Amino acid sequence: MLFYSSSSQATQKLGADLAQKLQGNEIILLSGILGAGKTVFVRGLAKALKITYPITSPTFNIFRVYDCIVPQNQKKARLYHFDAYRLEKYADLLALDWQEILAEKNSIILLEWPECIIDKDLAKIKNRKVIRVIIQPENTNKRSVEIL
């Protein structure tokens, strides 16, 4: 589905709307150029998951973990927020306990910059619903947000 956003608040709302549909055990692949609004989108998603900590991009940490509540079933879970910008291959994720994180039931994984990892390697993900979100600036104030 294709949406348009003309403000940070609208982009956050799109993130929150997606969060309301999550059941746990999803992986969200989030793409967009620097400054497209990826972190703004994640802030809305995180707020809807009842995360109260400030959300920043985990560029230097590679990933952050937050306790959350899955809206669809009200179960406690974890949100794993990855930034793959500095990664080059799937093996880089494996070195970060990726397999153990994938095996964790009910968690939600958000992976920014999935294009930095060879896409065919990301196809190895099993037993998770994969959601792609692509944010593209249309002009100074307008963004297109495609959710696949």
What was the pLDDT predicted at 43?
97
What was the pLDDT predicted at 147?
97
Mean pLDDT calculated for residue range 25-45: 95
User: pLDDT tens digits for 59-109?
Assistant: 888 999 999 999 989 999 999 999 999 888 888 888 898 889 999 988 999
Structural domains in the chain, sorted by start:
2-147 (3.40.50.300)
Helix H, strand E, coil C: the string for the chain is CEEEECCHHHHHHHHHHHHHHCCCCEEEEEECCCCCCHHHHHHHHHHHCCCCCCCCCCCCCCEEEEEEECCCCCCEEEEEEEECCCCCCHHHHHCCCHHHHHHCCCCEEEEECHHHCCHHHHCCCCCCEEEEEEEEECCCCCEEEEEC
Q: Tell me the two tokens of residue 79.
A: 């949100």
Confidence band for 53, pLDDT divided at 50, 70 and 90: very high
* pTM, 2 dp: 0.92
User: pLDDT tens digits for 106-129?
Assistant: 899 999 999 888 666 666 677 889
